[in-house]
């Protein structure tokens, strides 16, 4: 939660448009951790898209998302939220529907997959040029072993 609260400090300073989070966490976390994740998400974002990791780590599909939803509703019942279990679908639908000047924060299970989805949208090359070496290094690692460091701290 401390790392998520630090992220919230950055996101709360975004005043130019809607703040949207695509969030989820590893299925082997405690129920209360998922509820806390939902509560913090509702406090940080204007709209929350709840997704689940491909590897649910033993939880039934949708169970972690429902716990996150409980936290959202407890913290802010009027918070706009949606459950889209598939991470790729969640990212694509969120980016498709985000209004101009929105901040979309994605907490992916597999970072290289999220980067690939964003690159497929033809981002402005000048703005991402300085990161191309780092992105290529990430892509050269086994895709299944690249996990979100933030998600692993929750």
Report pLDDT for 125: 56
Task: Decide if 142 is inside a domain.
Answer: no
Tell me, yes or no, whether 146 lies in a domain.
no
Structural domain including 90 reads 2-109
How would residue 2 be classed by pLDDT, with cut points 50, 70 and 90?
A: confident
Q: Is residue 36 part of a domain?
A: yes
Per the domain annotation, does 93 fall within a domain?
yes
Confidence tier at 126 by pLDDT (50, 70, 90): low
β-bridge partners, 73: none
How far, in Å, CA of 50 to CA of 68, rounded? 7
pLDDT at 27: 86
On whether residue 123 sits in a domain, the answer given is: no
pLDDT attached to residue 67: 97
Residues 6+ apart with CB under 8 A from 36: 1, 71
CB atoms within 10 A of CB 136: 9
Find the CATH number of the domain harbouring 42.
3.90.190.20
Task: Indicate whether 140 belongs to any domain.
Answer: no
**Mean pLDDT, range 24-33, rounded to an integer:** 91
Residues 51/90, Cβ–Cβ less than 8 Å:
yes
Which whole number is the average pLDDT over 31-54? 96
Four-residue CA torsion sign, 41, 17, 104, 56 = positive
Chain centre distance of CA 140: 23
- Residue 123 banded pLDDT, cuts 50, 70, 90: low
Residue 40 pLDDT grade (very low, low, confident, very high; cuts 50, 70, 90)? very high
Stretch among 2-11, 38-47, 125-134 having the lowest mean pLDDT:
125-134
Tokens at 105, concatenated: 């924060």
Count the domains in the chain: 1
Question: Is 70 exceeded by the pLDDT of residue 142?
Answer: no
* pLDDT one-digit tens code per residue, 45-98: 999 999 999 988 989 999 999 999 999 999 999 999 999 999 999 999 999 999
Highest mean pLDDT among 64-73, 109-118, 144-153: 64-73
């Amino acid at each position: 939660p401390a790392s998520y609260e630090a992220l919230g400090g950055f996101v709360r300073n975004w005043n130019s448009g809607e703040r949207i989070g695509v969030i989820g966490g590893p299925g082997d976390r405690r129920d209360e951790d998922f509820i806390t994740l939902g509560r913090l998400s509702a406090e940080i974002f204007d709209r929350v898209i709840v997704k689940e990791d491909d590897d649910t780590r033993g939880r039934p599909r949708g169970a972690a998302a429902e716990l996150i939803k409980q936290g959202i509703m407890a913290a802010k019942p009027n918070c706009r939220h949606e459950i889209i279990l598939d991470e790729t679908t969640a990212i694509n639908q969120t980016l498709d529907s985000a209004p101009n000047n929105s901040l979309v924060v994605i907490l992916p299970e597999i970072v290289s997959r999220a980067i690939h989805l964003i690159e497929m949208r033809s981002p402005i090359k000048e703005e991402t040029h300085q990161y191309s070496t780092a992105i290529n290094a990430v892509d050269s690692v086994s895709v299944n072993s690249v996990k979100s460091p933030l998600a692993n701290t929750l």
